[in-house]
Amino acid sequence: MPAPASPSPAPADFPATTASELIAAHGGRVTRTRVAVIEALQSAAHPLSHDEVGVALTDAGIAHDRVTLYRALEWLVDKGIAQRIAASERAWRFEIRRGGEHRHAHFHCDRCGQVLCLEDVPSDSRPALPAGFELDRSELVLHGACADCGRRGVKMEAP
C-alpha cells in the first residue's frame, strides 16, 4: 500500500506559538525570511497570495528573492505549518494551520478577487468515493461578491 496522500510528514499541532519555535520544531533553520513569512501569515486577516506575502516582507524591511519566497512557502506547506488554497485564478493563497486543525471553507469574491476564511463553515465532507480512491482532504470554496464589492458594484471578474 502506498503512502497516504497527506502533505505533512510531521505532526501539525505543536504547542509552539512563535515563528521561530514553529520552524525549529520542524527541524528547519530559523531564517529572517521564514520568520517574517510566518508572522505575515499569522497576522493576516485572510489567506495571502505569494505576492501579498512579498509585499508584507518588503513592508517589514526584509529583503527577499521571489524564488526564496516560493521555497519558504513550499517548505511551510510541506511541514504542515501552512496550507495552500486554490480559491480561483492561477495563484495559490496561503494560510497558517491553526492548532485545532478544523478545516474551514473559503469565500472568493469574483469581483475583487479577495479570499476570506469562513471559520464557521466546515470543509470536511467525506462522501463515499469509488473503490480504490483515497481521500485526503476536501476544499469548499464559495463564490460570489463580498460586502464591499456588492455595495459598490465593482466590475465583474472572470468567473
* Binding piece for a copy of itself, criterion CB under 8 A, among 37-45, 46-54, 59-67, 110-118: 110-118
Q: How far is the CB of 7 from DNA (least distance, A)?
A: 13
- Within 8 A by CB and 6+ apart from 137, the residues are 103
- Per-residue binding string, a copy of itself, 121-140, x by CB under 8 A, is x---x-x-xxxxxxxxxxxx
What is the Cα–Cα distance from 148 to 33, expressed in whole angstroms?
Answer: 33
How far, rounded to the nearest angstrom, does the alpha carbon of residue 38 sit from its chain's CA centroid? 11
- Should residue 11 be labelled a site residue for a copy of itself when binding is judged by CB under 8 A? no
In whole angstroms, how close is the CB of 132 to DNA at the nearest point? Answer: 26
Sequence-distant (6+) residues with CB within 8 A of 152 are none
Q: Does residue 141 touch a copy of itself according to CB under 8 A?
A: yes
Helix (H), strand (E) at residue 77 = helix 66-78
Write out the residues near DNA by the rule CB under 7 A. 24, 27-34, 49-51, 63-68, 70-72, 74-75, 89-92, 158
